[in-house]
Protein backbone atom coordinates (compact mmCIF):
# COMPACT_ATOMS: atom_id res chain seq x y z
CA UNK A 1 0.00 0.00 0.00
CA UNK A 2 1.23 3.47 -0.82
CA UNK A 3 2.05 5.96 1.92
CA UNK A 4 -0.41 8.52 0.53
CA UNK A 5 -3.30 6.03 0.92
CA UNK A 6 -2.15 4.77 4.34
CA UNK A 7 -2.03 8.29 5.75
CA UNK A 8 -5.01 9.70 3.84
CA UNK A 9 -7.01 12.06 6.10
CA UNK A 10 -8.53 14.18 3.34
CA UNK A 11 -11.99 15.47 4.20
CA UNK A 12 -12.02 14.02 7.72
CA UNK A 13 -14.14 16.14 10.08
CA UNK A 14 -11.73 16.80 12.94
CA UNK A 15 -11.85 18.52 16.33
CA UNK A 16 -8.78 19.43 18.34
CA UNK A 17 -9.11 20.82 21.87
CA UNK A 18 -6.35 23.03 23.23
CA UNK A 19 -5.55 23.81 19.61
CA UNK A 20 -4.34 27.39 19.90
CA UNK A 21 -0.87 26.36 21.05
CA UNK A 22 1.73 23.64 21.33
CA UNK A 23 0.85 19.99 20.75
CA UNK A 24 -2.82 20.69 19.89
CA UNK A 25 -1.87 23.27 17.29
CA UNK A 26 0.56 20.76 15.74
CA UNK A 27 -2.21 18.12 15.58
CA UNK A 28 -4.62 20.61 14.00
CA UNK A 29 -2.01 21.80 11.53
CA UNK A 30 -0.90 18.37 10.31
CA UNK A 31 -4.53 17.28 9.84
CA UNK A 32 -5.52 20.45 7.99
CA UNK A 33 -2.33 20.51 5.89
CA UNK A 34 -3.25 17.02 4.69
CA UNK A 35 -6.80 17.93 3.70
CA UNK A 36 -8.86 17.38 6.87
CA UNK A 37 -11.54 19.89 7.89
CA UNK A 38 -10.57 21.01 11.35
CA UNK A 39 -12.32 22.83 14.20
CA UNK A 40 -9.78 24.24 16.62
CA UNK A 41 -11.10 24.66 20.17
CA UNK A 42 -9.40 26.64 22.91
CA UNK A 43 -10.27 28.88 25.84
CA UNK A 44 -7.69 31.48 24.78
CA UNK A 45 -9.69 33.53 22.24
CA UNK A 46 -6.79 35.69 21.04
CA UNK A 47 -4.38 32.83 20.45
CA UNK A 48 -7.17 30.82 18.82
CA UNK A 49 -7.88 33.66 16.40
CA UNK A 50 -4.17 33.89 15.57
CA UNK A 51 -3.90 30.15 14.94
CA UNK A 52 -7.05 29.95 12.81
CA UNK A 53 -5.97 33.06 10.90
CA UNK A 54 -2.51 31.64 10.14
CA UNK A 55 -3.81 28.24 8.98
CA UNK A 56 -6.59 29.85 6.92
CA UNK A 57 -4.13 32.15 5.19
CA UNK A 58 -2.09 29.04 4.32
CA UNK A 59 -5.17 27.73 2.49
CA UNK A 60 -6.37 25.23 5.11
CA UNK A 61 -10.02 24.44 5.89
CA UNK A 62 -10.19 25.40 9.57
CA UNK A 63 -12.50 27.17 12.00
CA UNK A 64 -12.38 28.08 15.67
CA UNK A 65 -14.63 27.62 18.71
CA UNK A 66 -13.79 29.43 21.93
CA UNK A 67 -14.55 26.96 24.71
CA UNK A 68 -13.26 26.02 28.12
CA UNK A 69 -13.21 22.20 28.27
CA UNK A 70 -13.94 22.30 32.01
CA UNK A 71 -17.36 23.75 31.13
CA UNK A 72 -19.28 20.63 30.20
CA UNK A 73 -22.30 22.40 28.73
CA UNK A 74 -20.12 24.72 26.66
CA UNK A 75 -18.04 21.78 25.46
CA UNK A 76 -21.14 19.91 24.29
CA UNK A 77 -22.40 22.99 22.44
CA UNK A 78 -19.03 23.49 20.72
CA UNK A 79 -18.87 19.81 19.66
CA UNK A 80 -22.45 19.99 18.35
CA UNK A 81 -21.64 23.15 16.41
CA UNK A 82 -18.57 21.53 14.83
CA UNK A 83 -20.64 18.46 13.85
CA UNK A 84 -23.29 20.72 12.31
CA UNK A 85 -20.76 22.63 10.23
CA UNK A 86 -18.71 19.58 9.19
CA UNK A 87 -21.73 17.27 8.79
CA UNK A 88 -19.96 14.52 10.81
CA UNK A 89 -17.29 13.89 13.46
CA UNK A 90 -14.49 11.60 12.30
CA UNK A 91 -11.54 12.47 14.53
CA UNK A 92 -11.34 14.09 17.96
CA UNK A 93 -8.06 15.03 19.60
CA UNK A 94 -8.88 15.54 23.30
CA UNK A 95 -5.71 17.40 24.04
CA UNK A 96 -6.40 20.51 26.12
CA UNK A 97 -4.72 20.34 29.49
CA UNK A 98 -2.63 22.26 31.95
CA UNK A 99 0.78 21.63 33.51
CA UNK A 100 1.42 20.10 36.89
CA UNK A 101 2.87 23.09 38.75
CA UNK A 102 5.68 22.80 41.25
CA UNK A 103 7.09 19.37 42.04
CA UNK A 104 8.55 18.37 45.41
CA UNK A 105 12.01 19.00 43.94
CA UNK A 106 13.24 21.96 41.92
CA UNK A 107 15.15 21.24 38.71
CA UNK A 108 18.28 21.96 40.78
CA UNK A 109 17.45 19.03 43.04
CA UNK A 110 16.40 21.02 46.10
CA UNK A 111 13.23 20.30 48.10
CA UNK A 112 10.45 22.70 47.10
CA UNK A 113 7.91 23.41 49.86
CA UNK A 114 5.35 24.56 47.23
CA UNK A 115 5.27 21.04 45.82
CA UNK A 116 5.36 19.16 49.12
CA UNK A 117 2.46 16.73 49.50
CA UNK A 118 1.01 18.40 52.60
CA UNK A 119 1.04 21.85 50.96
CA UNK A 120 -0.91 21.02 47.80
CA UNK A 121 -4.08 23.09 47.95
CA UNK A 122 -7.55 21.80 47.14
CA UNK A 123 -7.59 24.37 44.33
CA UNK A 124 -4.54 22.82 42.65
CA UNK A 125 -5.97 19.34 42.99
CA UNK A 126 -9.37 20.40 41.65
CA UNK A 127 -7.79 22.27 38.72
CA UNK A 128 -5.74 19.23 37.76
CA UNK A 129 -8.79 16.95 37.88
CA UNK A 130 -11.03 19.38 35.97
CA UNK A 131 -8.56 20.30 33.22
CA UNK A 132 -6.76 17.00 32.70
CA UNK A 133 -9.26 14.27 33.58
CA UNK A 134 -12.92 15.39 33.74
CA UNK A 135 -12.39 17.34 30.51
CA UNK A 136 -11.14 14.16 28.81
CA UNK A 137 -14.16 12.19 30.04
CA UNK A 138 -16.54 14.87 28.77
CA UNK A 139 -14.71 15.17 25.43
CA UNK A 140 -14.91 11.40 24.87
CA UNK A 141 -18.62 11.44 25.81
CA UNK A 142 -19.34 14.33 23.42
CA UNK A 143 -17.46 12.54 20.63
CA UNK A 144 -19.19 9.19 21.20
CA UNK A 145 -22.63 10.79 20.98
CA UNK A 146 -21.82 11.72 17.39
CA UNK A 147 -19.55 8.84 16.36
CA UNK A 148 -21.75 5.95 17.51
CA UNK A 149 -24.75 6.79 15.28
CA UNK A 150 -22.49 7.45 12.30
CA UNK A 151 -20.73 4.09 12.72
CA UNK A 152 -17.21 4.93 13.85
CA UNK A 153 -14.48 7.44 14.48
CA UNK A 154 -11.13 8.08 16.13
CA UNK A 155 -10.52 9.58 19.55
CA UNK A 156 -6.97 10.50 20.50
CA UNK A 157 -6.28 11.67 24.06
CA UNK A 158 -3.12 13.51 25.06
CA UNK A 159 -1.87 11.98 28.31
CA UNK A 160 1.77 12.23 29.44
CA UNK A 161 4.64 10.03 30.51
CA UNK A 162 3.44 11.15 33.96
CA UNK A 163 0.72 8.53 33.41
CA UNK A 164 3.46 5.89 33.50
CA UNK A 165 6.15 7.11 35.88
CA UNK A 166 6.27 9.20 39.04
CA UNK A 167 8.04 12.56 38.74
CA UNK A 168 9.88 14.74 41.25
CA UNK A 169 9.89 18.08 39.38
CA UNK A 170 6.24 18.07 38.29
CA UNK A 171 3.32 18.64 40.68
CA UNK A 172 1.88 15.54 42.33
CA UNK A 173 -1.76 15.97 41.14
CA UNK A 174 -0.57 15.70 37.52
CA UNK A 175 0.44 12.00 37.88
CA UNK A 176 -2.92 10.49 38.93
CA UNK A 177 -4.99 12.62 36.55
CA UNK A 178 -2.85 11.67 33.55
CA UNK A 179 -2.83 8.01 34.67
CA UNK A 180 -6.60 8.26 35.02
CA UNK A 181 -6.93 9.63 31.50
CA UNK A 182 -4.74 6.80 30.18
CA UNK A 183 -6.91 4.18 31.86
CA UNK A 184 -10.06 5.93 30.68
CA UNK A 185 -8.73 5.47 27.14
CA UNK A 186 -8.48 1.71 27.67
CA UNK A 187 -11.96 1.46 29.15
CA UNK A 188 -13.48 3.56 26.35
CA UNK A 189 -11.62 1.53 23.71
CA UNK A 190 -12.93 -1.75 25.16
CA UNK A 191 -16.55 -0.61 25.07
CA UNK A 192 -16.43 1.27 21.79
CA UNK A 193 -14.48 -1.14 19.55
CA UNK A 194 -17.81 -2.83 18.71
CA UNK A 195 -18.99 0.47 17.22
CA UNK A 196 -15.88 1.14 15.13
CA UNK A 197 -14.68 3.89 17.46
CA UNK A 198 -10.94 3.60 18.09
CA UNK A 199 -9.58 5.29 21.20
CA UNK A 200 -5.87 5.79 21.77
CA UNK A 201 -3.53 8.01 23.75
CA UNK A 202 -0.41 9.97 22.98
CA UNK A 203 1.94 10.19 25.98
CA UNK A 204 4.47 12.98 25.45
CA UNK A 205 7.64 13.48 27.39
CA UNK A 206 8.98 17.02 27.69
CA UNK A 207 8.03 19.16 24.69
CA UNK A 208 8.88 22.79 24.05
CA UNK A 209 5.44 24.39 24.24
CA UNK A 210 3.78 27.22 26.13
CA UNK A 211 2.68 24.89 28.96
CA UNK A 212 2.90 26.26 32.53
CA UNK A 213 3.69 29.83 31.50
CA UNK A 214 6.41 28.74 29.04
CA UNK A 215 8.50 27.13 31.79
CA UNK A 216 10.05 24.72 29.26
CA UNK A 217 11.90 27.73 27.82
CA UNK A 218 13.42 28.60 31.20
CA UNK A 219 17.16 27.78 30.84
CA UNK A 220 17.25 25.81 34.12
CA UNK A 221 14.16 23.74 33.25
CA UNK A 222 15.32 23.16 29.70
CA UNK A 223 18.81 22.26 30.93
CA UNK A 224 17.36 19.73 33.40
CA UNK A 225 15.46 17.91 30.63
CA UNK A 226 18.47 18.06 28.33
CA UNK A 227 20.41 16.25 31.07
CA UNK A 228 17.85 13.58 31.99
CA UNK A 229 16.27 12.73 28.63
CA UNK A 230 18.40 10.03 26.92
CA UNK A 231 18.17 11.89 23.59
CA UNK A 232 19.49 14.97 25.41
CA UNK A 233 16.86 17.38 24.17
CA UNK A 234 13.18 18.30 24.42
CA UNK A 235 10.68 17.42 21.72
CA UNK A 236 9.46 20.03 19.26
CA UNK A 237 5.82 20.27 18.26
CA UNK A 238 6.53 19.41 14.63
CA UNK A 239 7.84 16.07 15.94
CA UNK A 240 4.31 15.33 17.20
CA UNK A 241 2.83 15.57 13.72
CA UNK A 242 3.76 12.10 12.43
CA UNK A 243 2.19 10.32 15.40
CA UNK A 244 -0.94 12.50 15.27
CA UNK A 245 -1.41 11.75 11.58
CA UNK A 246 -0.74 8.04 12.13
CA UNK A 247 -3.41 7.71 14.84
CA UNK A 248 -6.00 9.58 12.77
CA UNK A 249 -5.35 7.73 9.50
CA UNK A 250 -5.97 4.30 7.93
CA UNK A 251 -2.36 3.40 8.86
CA UNK A 252 -3.53 2.69 12.44
CA UNK A 253 -6.95 1.18 11.75
CA UNK A 254 -6.37 -2.01 13.83
CA UNK A 255 -4.97 -0.12 16.83
CA UNK A 256 -7.18 0.71 19.79
CA UNK A 257 -6.75 1.12 23.53
CA UNK A 258 -3.05 1.82 23.31
CA UNK A 259 -0.91 4.64 24.64
CA UNK A 260 2.03 5.60 22.44
CA UNK A 261 4.97 7.18 24.23
CA UNK A 262 6.86 9.94 22.43
CA UNK A 263 9.58 11.08 24.80
CA UNK A 264 13.13 10.86 23.46
CA UNK A 265 13.58 7.83 25.72
CA UNK A 266 12.64 9.62 28.97
CA UNK A 267 10.63 6.69 30.37
CA UNK A 268 13.56 4.33 29.86
CA UNK A 269 15.67 5.92 32.57
CA UNK A 270 18.82 8.02 32.47
CA UNK A 271 21.83 7.45 30.26
CA UNK A 272 25.04 9.27 29.49
N1 LIG B 1 4.60 20.14 26.81
C2 LIG B 1 4.89 19.04 27.48
O3 LIG B 1 6.03 18.82 27.90
C4 LIG B 1 3.80 18.00 27.74
C5 LIG B 1 4.19 16.77 28.23
C6 LIG B 1 3.22 15.80 28.47
C7 LIG B 1 1.90 16.07 28.23
N8 LIG B 1 1.54 17.29 27.77
C9 LIG B 1 0.11 17.52 27.54
O10 LIG B 1 -0.09 18.01 26.24
C11 LIG B 1 -1.32 18.74 26.18
C12 LIG B 1 -1.08 20.05 25.46
O13 LIG B 1 -0.17 20.82 26.19
P14 LIG B 1 0.96 21.74 25.49
O15 LIG B 1 2.25 21.31 26.04
O16 LIG B 1 0.74 21.82 24.04
O17 LIG B 1 0.63 23.14 26.22
P18 LIG B 1 0.26 24.58 25.66
O19 LIG B 1 0.05 25.42 26.88
O20 LIG B 1 1.28 25.04 24.65
O21 LIG B 1 -1.13 24.36 24.91
C22 LIG B 1 -2.28 24.00 25.62
C23 LIG B 1 -3.47 24.74 25.03
O24 LIG B 1 -4.62 24.24 25.69
C25 LIG B 1 -5.44 25.34 26.08
N26 LIG B 1 -6.18 24.97 27.26
C27 LIG B 1 -5.71 24.65 28.50
N28 LIG B 1 -6.71 24.39 29.33
C29 LIG B 1 -7.85 24.56 28.61
C30 LIG B 1 -9.22 24.46 28.93
N31 LIG B 1 -9.63 24.17 30.16
N32 LIG B 1 -10.13 24.67 27.95
C33 LIG B 1 -9.73 24.98 26.71
N34 LIG B 1 -8.45 25.13 26.35
C35 LIG B 1 -7.52 24.91 27.29
C36 LIG B 1 -4.47 26.48 26.33
O37 LIG B 1 -5.12 27.75 26.22
C38 LIG B 1 -3.42 26.25 25.26
O39 LIG B 1 -3.73 26.94 24.06
C40 LIG B 1 -1.79 18.87 27.64
O41 LIG B 1 -2.78 17.90 27.89
C42 LIG B 1 -0.53 18.56 28.43
O43 LIG B 1 -0.82 18.05 29.72
C44 LIG B 1 2.46 18.26 27.51
Q: Is the CB of 221 under 6 A from ligand 1?
A: no
Computed over every residue of the chain, the mean pLDDT equals 98
For 3-261, give the CATH class.
alpha beta
**Are the beta carbons of 38 and 14 closer than 8 angstroms?**
yes
Note the pLDDT of residue 81. 98
Q: What is the pTM of this model?
A: 0.98
Secondary structure percentages of the chain, helix, strand, coil, to 5: 50, 15, 35
Ligand 1 atom closest to residue 100's alpha carbon, by position in its atom list = 43
27 pocket-lining for ligand 1 (C-beta < 6 Å): no
User: What tens digit of pLDDT does each residue of 116-136 get?
Assistant: 999 999 999 999 999 999 999
Q: Is the CB of 97 under 6 A from ligand 1?
A: yes
Average of pLDDT values for 188-192? 98
Q: How far apart are CA 158 and CA 178, in angstroms?
A: 9
Most ligand 1 atoms within 8 A of CB, residue of 18, 29, 222 to mutate: 18
Q: Residue 257 — φ and ψ, nearest 5°?
A: 80, 15
Instruction: Give the three-class secondary structure for 7.
Output: coil
Amino acid sequence: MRADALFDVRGLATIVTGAASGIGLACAEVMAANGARVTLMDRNANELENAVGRLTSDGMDVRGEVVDVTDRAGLNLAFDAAARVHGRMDVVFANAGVGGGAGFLTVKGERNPDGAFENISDQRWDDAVANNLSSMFWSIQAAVRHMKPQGGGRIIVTTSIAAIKAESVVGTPYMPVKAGAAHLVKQAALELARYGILVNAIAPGPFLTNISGRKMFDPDVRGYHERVVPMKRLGTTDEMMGLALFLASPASKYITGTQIVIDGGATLGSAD
